[in-house]
Amino acid sequence: MKKFFYVMAAAAALLLIFYVYIGGFTAPDVITSTSKTMYIAGQPFKGSIKDEALGEAFSKAGNILEDSMLIGVLGSVYYNNPENEGDSLIAFIGIVVPDKNVTLPEGYELRTIEGGRKVLRAEVNASYMVAPGKLYGALFEYAEQHKIELEKFYVEWFPEENKGVVEVPVKQ
C-alpha cells in the first residue's frame, strides 16, 4: 500500500511539474490597444469544432512552417464563438506572414486584417496546449468587469514558442 502511495505521489508531482512547465499557472495580461495590420495565409474552415478537417487545417499550417514554405507564425481568425453557436465554428486557419508579398502554398489564400481598431489584447506565456483557454477566459472576464462589448471576431497567434496572443475588436 505504501508503494502505491509513493508511486501516485510521484506521478502527481510529475504532472504538476509538467503543468507548471507549459505555463498552466501563468495569468494572461489583458490591455486595451490599437490593432496593427496583419496578413494571414491560410484556408477557411466552417464546421464543428470536432470535425477532423479543423485539426487537418492546423496540421497543414504546422507542416508548411516546418517545411519553410512560408515564414511566419501560426495564426487564426475566428468569426464566431462556438460556445454560443452550438459548436459550429467559422474560421480561417493558417500562418501570420510579415507582408502580402508571399507565394502561397496550394489551397491557401491571403487575408488582410486591417489595423487601426481599438481591441482588447490578451497575452500569455504558456504552451499552445493551455494558452487559448487562458486567453479567451481572461478577455471575456476583463470585458465583463469593465463593461466592454466585444465584436465576434477573434485574431489569435503564437508569436514565440510558449506565447499566445488574442485580439478582439471593441464594439464602437
Tell me if 160 is assigned to some domain.
Answer: yes
- Residue 164 has a pLDDT of 87
Rg for the chain, CA atoms, rounded: 18
CATH label of the domain that carries residue 106: 3.20.80.10
125-145 pLDDT, tens digit each: 865 554 567 788 899 999 999
Number of domains making up the chain: 1
Tell me if 151 is assigned to some domain.
Answer: yes
3-state secondary structure the chain: CHHHHHHHHHHHHHHHHHHHHCCCCCCCEEEEEECCCEEEEEEEEEEECCCHHHHHHHHHHHHHHHCCCCCCEEEEEECCCHHHCCCEEEEEEEEEECCCCCCCCCCCEEEEECCCCEEEEEEECCCCCCHHHHHHHHHHHHHHHCCCCECCCEEEEEEECCEEEEEEEECC
pLDDT at 115 over 60: yes
Tell me if 5 is assigned to some domain.
Answer: no
Domain that holds residue 152: 27-169
Tell me if 21 is assigned to some domain.
Answer: no
Handedness of CA 27, 93, 119, 112 (dihedral sign): positive
Tell me if 87 is assigned to some domain.
Answer: yes
Tell me if 117 is assigned to some domain.
Answer: yes
pLDDT at 32 over 90: yes
pTM of the entire predicted model:
0.81
Q: Which residues pair with 34 in a beta bridge?
A: 118
- Residue 1 has a pLDDT of 64
Give me the mean pLDDT over the 97-122 stretch.
96
Tell me if 134 is assigned to some domain.
Answer: yes
Tell me if 48 is assigned to some domain.
Answer: yes
